[in-house]
């Protein structure tokens, strides 16, 4: 599974027109494969609660955290997105195992013990 697979599968949730400030044409920026299941679960949840005006504008990794921006949200959507971000904070972005934030001179990333060696 790649970020593009998720975008294709749940494309109604993503702003792909490029008419706004959407960054989705670049996919999920810097998001490792360990976080893709979190994004897929979030998309499944969003399908049941999002209005047609809802769109994801960007999905990216920055300083070891999952950053998600969207328009047309609601309280329920905000809670679902916050839950996904919180899950990413304790999930290795490489393999999806339980992890913690690793900070080195070159890297800020959530990694498990096995993936911590860079
Ligand atoms: Zn790992």
The Cα 108–Cα 46 span in angstroms is: 28
Cα–ligand 1 centroid distance for 22 (angstroms): 30
Distance 91 CA to ligand 1 centre (A): 8
Backbone angles phi, psi at 38, to 5 degrees: -65, -45
SS3 assignment, position 116: coil
Contact indicator for 98, 115 with CB cutoff of 8 Å: no
Give the pLDDT of residue 1: 93
Helix, strand counts (H, E) of the chain: 3, 4
Q: Global pTM?
A: 0.94
Mean pLDDT, rounded, of the chain: 94
Rounded distance from Cα 107 to ligand 1 centre (Å): 15
Q: What is the pLDDT of residues 28-82, one digit of tens each?
A: 999 999 999 999 999 999 999 999 999 999 999 999 999 999 999 999 999 999 9
| Ion ligand 1: residue ranges with CB closer than 5 A | 92, 94-95, 97, 112, 115
pLDDT of residue 25: 87
- Pairing state between β 108-111 and 55-62: unpaired
């Amino acid at each position: 599974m790649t970020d593009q697979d998720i975008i294709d599968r749940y494309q109604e949730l993503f702003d792909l027109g490029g008419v706004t400030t959407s960054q989705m044409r670049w996919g999920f920026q810097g998001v490792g494969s360990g976080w893709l299941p979190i994004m897929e679960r979030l998309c499944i949840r969003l399908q049941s609660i999002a209005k047609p005006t809802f769109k994801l504008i960007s999905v990216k990794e920055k300083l070891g955290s999952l950053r998600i921006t969207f328009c047309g949200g609601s309280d329920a959507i905000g809670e679902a997105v916050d839950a996904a971000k919180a899950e990413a904070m304790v999930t290795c972005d490489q393999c999806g195992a339980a992890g913690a934030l690793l900070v080195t001179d070159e890297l800020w990333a959530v990694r498990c013990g096995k993936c911590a060696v860079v």
